[in-house]
């Protein structure tokens, strides 16, 4: 049996027409396990700020931005640490999106994890 099999969470979707300035909304959550790969695709007409964390206090701290029609790929699994551990988006952490106001279009977030 193959050793490292990747699986995906259900695709997360954020409708940018529901965004309110300064109020983050969850796009997706790493529920099945630590995410090794995070892919965010912005198919809207606005910049969307991205943050990662367990709760709203962490969601308010924007760490990335995805411009209109842009994409962001975070291959955490490719970032090995000195002690041979792999960087991940921890289980139960969310990917959050926020903007200066409402837009038109969706933002999608795919999370990939190693199957047991």
Q: Per-residue pLDDT for 1 more than 60? A: no
How confident is the model at residue 111, as a pLDDT? 94
Number of domains in the chain: 1
d(C-alpha 102, C-alpha 114), whole Å = 35
Mean pLDDT value across residues 49-53: 95
Q: Residue 76 is part of which domain span?
A: 6-114
How confident is the model at residue 103, as a pLDDT? 97
Mean pLDDT (the chain, rounded)? 90
CATH of the domain at 51: 2.60.120
Place of tokens 């959050």: 96
Mean pLDDT value across residues 89-110: 95
Instruction: Kindly report the pTM of this predicted structure.
Output: 0.89
Structural domain contains residue 1: no
């Amino acid at each position: 049996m193959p050793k490292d099999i990747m699986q995906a969470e259900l695709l997360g979707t954020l409708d940018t027409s529901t965004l309110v300035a300064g109020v983050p909304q969850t796009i997706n959550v790493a529920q099945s396990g630590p995410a090794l790969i995070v892919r965010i695709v912005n198919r809207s007409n606005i910049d969307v700020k991205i943050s990662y964390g367990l709760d709203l206090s962490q969601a308010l701290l924007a760490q990335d931005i995805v411009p209109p029609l842009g994409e962001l790929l975070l291959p955490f699994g490719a970032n090995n640490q000195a002690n041979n551990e792999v960087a991940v988006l921890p289980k139960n952490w969310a990917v959050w999106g926020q903007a200066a106001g409402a837009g038109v279009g969706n933002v999608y977030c795919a999370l990939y994890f190693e199957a047991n």
